[in-house]
Amino acid sequence: MQVDENINSHSNNVQLWQSLMKINEELTKSKNNIEQAITHMRTLLNTHHATSSSTSSAEKQRHVIIKCLTSQLFYTVAVAVASDSAENEDTGNMSIMSVMDVYKMLEFLCTQFGVTQPTLNSYVMKYASADELEYQTCPITNENYLGSDDDDNNNRPIVRPDTLKLLVEQVKLDGSDSASAVICALALRKPQQLLLPLQSAEVAGRLSIVSLIMTAWRDVTSGNNGNSSSAYNSTVSIRYCALVINLAMQSEEAMQYMIPCLDEMMDAILWSDAASMDPLMQMSALDMLEKLASTANTTTIKQQRMPMHPSRTKWLLSKRMLMFLLHLSGGGSDRDDDLPDPILGAPALRLLSSLCRVVQADSSASLADFGGDELLEGFRNALLVTETSGELERLAFIDAVSSFVGCSSDEASMLILGNRQISEGWLFLGSAQPKMKAVIMNSIAQIIDSSPSPQDRSDDNNAVSISNQMIVVLLTKFGDENGCSLPEILLSFARKPVMETKLAAYNLMRSSCKVGTVLLSILAHAGFQEFLVNRETDATKEGKEAKFDVIEAIVKSDVYARGLVKDDLARKLDAIVKQGPHYVKAMSWQMMTE
């Protein structure tokens, strides 16, 4: 690559950009061009330093170059860390350099051109694409991706200790998300470097990532970082806590290893009296715990599900955690007042809802097992004091009560449904906006969908879920709260043109087909069968497909299998299923003549 040393300012910038692109192209084409790329860097930087019109301009040009180069270099590091080979499907045709080669180039920039490592690293983190880094992170559910014991390089550190320290320190600065993404990629690629003894920061030349993180976090929380700003300390403390949570989610072993760290961090930023002086920091901690309680994997484009490891479930459902959340949401029995925390009450109730879904995902877990009657009573009290007059407040309330009922025993569910204030706040449609009505109906459908079908219920399945009998009670309660029967409500909304409530009504119809007695009552309602087989009732694509889902659910139901649907209706439903949701009857056209 030739660099023209006699170019004007404008063409200088153009040539600079073209040169950078050529270097980047070299970096991604071959892993054997390291020395050649370094030579081009030296030429490029020296040339533009010499041709700049002023010292300040030279410094500015040099920083522009470094920003562009380090962005590409750091992206290459993330890909190399998260990829098994150059043929990995997520990396396309890109040949991967070794990680040590990439860091060799970064160190060259530092030593040859007077750029300090913190400055360089801030460029790296700031200008690397966080989205691309997350996209390249290996799928957490693919355990074979973590390496094997017979791998010759498996026990070697993936980066040198000084580089690892630099990454951990970078969490305090701009670009912390990118730093955290790369640390998580390192831990995924080399879990042995993650699960080192906490009492020793370095073992056999390898650094414990967690030990470095905890040391940096303690320096921040103790005020030994040289910055006296409480806002800064709180922000950085939350960043390190989020990083520990991301690492803990990677495996069962990682979670077990992280429990002492999480206990220490939560005590400092959430549970302690000192933490109560910073409610915004506590709110951030609750948001992070909600992520820990989630099974959704947002680090890959495929949106895979992450397993809810047993240790994670047990820690989240610890009595200390549950009672603390109940206290914040107004359900604590030992508080003098019975009102939820004005700032933290809503996030705490939302987290309780997430924990209910954790129970649904783990057949060995039960809210009652972890808190017993005290938890059930506390949750009921929290719901009673939750404000539902505003739209956002009612949404949080509906989410909490529906999540609780969906994962509780019949006795616990009756404790909730038997309270008029709670059932009205959840099930009453009244003068609510269409979107709110849709939320209410969809929340009921979600509960029914979460219950196992009769053939899935077995003695080996100990998961706590709502029974068919309780589903009937719930749907009857839904009708009573609104002054009419369930079939009447569903048919009324299905006939109306408002799309939100129409689709929600269809969704609740479909889910109700799981319960035979409910399905029979719907089919027996006057006008329902005619509405069901009439293809002219819905003109929209969404409406046709939602109605077709209802028909499919009826055909697949136990009621249909036992021959309890009239023959005439059964033939029509079978024909619709064969024809599909968008079938249009062919019309014969005859030529008109005089």
When mean pLDDT is compared across 36-40, 82-86, 327-331, the lowest value belongs to 82-86
| Predicted model pTM | 0.65
**Residue 173 to residue 117: CA distance in whole angstroms:** 13
Domain boundary among 277, 312, 347: 312
Residues 260 and 396 in one domain: no
**Residue 136 to residue 343: CA distance in whole angstroms:** 37
Q: 33 with 76: CB under 8 angstroms?
A: no
For the chain, how many residues are written? 594
**Residue 230 to residue 556: CA distance in whole angstroms:** 60
Residue 192 lies in a domain: yes
CA atoms within 13 A on the CB side of 420: 2
pLDDT one-digit tens code per residue, 203-226: 434 457 788 888 889 988 887 666
Residue 434 lies in a domain: no
Phi, psi of 305 (to 5 degrees): -90, 140
Q: What per-residue confidence (pLDDT) applies to 89?
A: 39
Q: 406 with 356: CB under 8 angstroms?
A: yes
Residue 154 lies in a domain: no
Residue type at position 250:
Q
Residues 303 and 384 in one domain: no
**Residue 7 to residue 14: CA distance in whole angstroms:** 10
Residues 402 and 522 in one domain: no
Residues 90 and 199 in one domain: no
Q: What per-residue confidence (pLDDT) applies to 283?
A: 93
**Residue 12 to residue 528: CA distance in whole angstroms:** 75
Q: What per-residue confidence (pLDDT) applies to 225?
A: 62
Residue 173 lies in a domain: yes
Three-class SS state of 207: strand
Residues 256 and 236 in one domain: yes
Residues 548 and 535 in one domain: yes
pLDDT one-digit tens code per residue, 14-73: 454 455 556 555 555 554 455 566 566 666 655 655 554 455 555 555 555 555 555 455
Its sign, for the CA torsion 121, 122, 126, 131, is positive
CA atoms within 13 A on the CB side of 417: 27
Residues 28 and 122 in one domain: yes
Residue 313: Cβ within 10 Å count:
20
Residue type at position 469:
Q
**Residue 385 to residue 340: CA distance in whole angstroms:** 7
Domain boundary among 128, 150, 184: 128
Q: Which residues contact 124 (CB under 8 A, 6 or more apart)?
A: 70, 71, 73, 74, 106, 175, 178
**Mean pLDDT of the chain, nearest integer:** 71
Three-class SS state of 291: helix
CA 259, 262, 267 angle in degrees (round to 5)? 125
Residues 294 and 335 in one domain: no
pLDDT one-digit tens code per residue, 506-529: 999 999 999 999 999 999 999 999
Using CB atoms within 10 A of its CB, is residue 441 exposed (0-12), middle (13-18) or buried (19+)? buried
**Residue 410 to residue 440: CA distance in whole angstroms:** 20
Q: At residue 372, does pLDDT exceed 60?
A: no
CA atoms within 13 A on the CB side of 22: 16
Residues 409 and 383 in one domain: yes
Residue 563 lies in a domain: yes
Residue 291 lies in a domain: yes
Residues 178 and 301 in one domain: yes
Three-class SS state of 103: helix
Q: 100 with 162: CB under 8 angstroms?
A: no
Using CB atoms within 10 A of its CB, is residue 476 exposed (0-12), middle (13-18) or buried (19+)? middle
Range of the domain at 396: 317-427
Residue 447 lies in a domain: no
pLDDT one-digit tens code per residue, 147-174: 333 333 444 444 556 666 767 877 886 6
Range of 301-315, 437-451, 578-592 with top mean pLDDT: 437-451
Q: What per-residue confidence (pLDDT) applies to 281?
A: 92
Residues 164 and 299 in one domain: yes
Phi, psi of 202 (to 5 degrees): -140, 125
Q: Residue 234 CA to chain centroid, in angstroms?
A: 23
Q: What per-residue confidence (pLDDT) applies to 446?
A: 92
**Number of domains the chain contains:** 4
**Residue 102 to residue 91: CA distance in whole angstroms:** 17
Residue 113 lies in a domain: yes
Domain boundary among 293, 312, 331: 312
Residues 344 and 276 in one domain: no
